[in-house]
């Protein structure tokens, strides 16, 4: 197996683990993570004003972007066959990771309400999602960015 395929595979697995098993941040006793968004999707679509007041259409657009983000780990895996798909999946992961990082660190206050789309209770508190705090964020944000970076480098190197 070539270096590019190995990097894409490691990046995809890291992306999937970060999205579905690690938390991105903690808000009180609730966690922000990928499965939290899945739990909230029906309420987000039915009541977008509960998440960001007066921004219903924007919430719908952000929700669609997050849905694409949730499947981007699978896109990276498909990228083992086609390097273009690996690059696209990795760019989506890096973009969402940077957006979460900016929102959690409150660098752009207008983005902060949108992280509430990820918030839900833990399935097994202290175990799933795994929360390892690093300042205001959690390890999941860092590993998400690392998975996107590895997938991008692997996609650029190539799969042949």
Answer with the residue of higher pLDDT: 21 or 1. Answer: 21
pLDDT at site 1: 63
pLDDT at site 144: 94
Give the integer Cα–Cα distance in Å for 133 and 131.
6
Radius of gyration of the chain (CA): 16
Give the integer Cα–Cα distance in Å for 64 and 13.
22
In the 8-state DSSP scheme, what is residue 128? B
Q: What average pLDDT does range 9-22 have in this prediction?
A: 93
Longest dimension (CA), the chain: 51
104-133 pLDDT tens trace: 888 887 777 888 888 888 888 778 888 888
Which residues contact residue 143 at a Cβ distance below 8 angstroms, ignoring those fewer than 6 apart? 14, 17, 18, 22
> Which range, of 5-9, 45-49, 122-126, averages the lowest pLDDT?
122-126
123-160 pLDDT tens trace: 887 788 888 888 878 899 999 999 999 999 999 998 77
Model pTM? 0.88
């Amino acid at each position: 197996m070539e270096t590019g395929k190995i990097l894409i595979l490691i990046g995809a697995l890291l992306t999937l683990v970060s999205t579905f098993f690690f938390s991105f941040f903690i808000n009180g006793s609730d966690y922000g993570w990928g499965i939290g968004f899945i739990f909230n999707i029906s309420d987000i679509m039915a009541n977008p004003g509960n998440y960001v007041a007066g921004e219903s259409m924007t919430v719908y657009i952000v929700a669609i972007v997050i849905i694409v983000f949730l499947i981007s780990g699978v896109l990276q895996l498909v990228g083992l066959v086609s390097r273009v798909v690996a690059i696209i999946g990795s760019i989506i992961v890096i973009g969402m990771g940077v957006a979460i990082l900016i929102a959690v660190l409150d660098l752009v206050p207008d983005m902060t309400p949108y992280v509430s789309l990820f918030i839900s209770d833990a399935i097994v508190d202290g175990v799933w999602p795994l929360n390892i705090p690093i300042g205001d964020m959690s390890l999941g944000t860092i590993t998400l960015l690392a998975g996107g970076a590895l997938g991008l480098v692997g996609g650029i190197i190539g799969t042949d």
